[in-house]
Amino acid sequence: MSHAQALLVGSGDLDAKWLESLDLGPDDFCLGVDKGARRLLEAGLPLDLALGDFDSVTAEEKAWICSKAKQVVELPAMKDATDLEEALDYLIKMNWQGTIRCLGFLGGRLDHTLSVVWLGYEDRYREILERLTFEDPYNSLGFLLPGDHQIDRQPDKKYLSFIGLGPVADLTLNQVVYTLDDYQMTTPRAFISNEFLPDVSTMTLSFTSGRLLVIQSRDAWR
């Protein structure tokens, strides 16, 4: 897997200072989804691709985006996919092999957040699913397919949650406060508010079938 990352910035809740603080490498690819294109420019970050129907920016902002972006893909307002799905489809078509880090797609409208979770059910995204993360200052969300996995602690996060996207077989969790050993999840369950053991920076887990959503988080008021 490539060490380069695709940075997707969307129109949802996003801390501008947090975005400005990101450290990007020379091979990273910055993709602004709709208003996210404006946010990348405002943060002084590259805009390799602006994609969307641009219904969340003014005509003047759209003209600025089009003048600054290396490439623009304008989508119709009436379509059978979200702008985020179109962006992920674009990365698949360009055979992107690095990680895909998505900011500004959580919070705000609940239906938008749920549409992010539902990506885990889409077989068309299976090839990128484990390279795909969604982040805001308080949450980091990723997907896992069956196998043996290691998860590194994010120093600014406290909680570690495991959510089954359907039945999950033989789920084992180690190096956490609440462990599991070959647990059979017959219906979707959300095991939330787990934590890494003290002085442990990496935990391991495994399962033989199903799909998991893994979230590291912290309370917004702390």
Do both 210 and 159 map to the same domain?
yes
- The average pLDDT across 191-213 equals 97
Confidence of residue 222 (pLDDT cuts 50, 70, 90): low
Same domain, 95 and 62: yes
Same domain, 110 and 13: yes
Summary mean pLDDT of the chain: 93
Q: Among candidates 163, 214, 217, 16, which has minimal Cα distance to 103?
A: 16
Which positions ≥6 away from 129 have C-beta within 8 Å? 119, 120, 143, 145, 211
Count up the domains in the chain and report the number.
Answer: 2
* 63 Cβ contact list (under 8 Å, min separation 6): none
Note down the domain range covering 12.
1-137
CATH number for the domain harbouring residue 206: 3.40.50.10240
Q: Does residue 193 sit in the same domain as residue 90?
A: no
Residues 87 and 192 in one domain: no
Q: What is the pLDDT of residue 15?
A: 82
Whether residues 186 and 121 fall in one domain: no
Amino acid found at 77: A
Per-residue pLDDT tens digits for 80-121: 888 899 999 999 999 999 999 999 998 778 888 899 999 999
- What pLDDT does residue 221 have? 64
Domain end, chosen from 117, 137, 157, is at: 137
Query: For a pLDDT cut of 70, what percent of the chain falls above it?
Result: 98
Domain-ending residue, one of 110, 137, 164: 137
Percentage of the chain exceeding pLDDT 90:
79
Q: Are residues 192 and 169 in the same domain?
A: yes
Please indicate whether residue 220 or residue 41 has the higher confidence score (pLDDT): 41
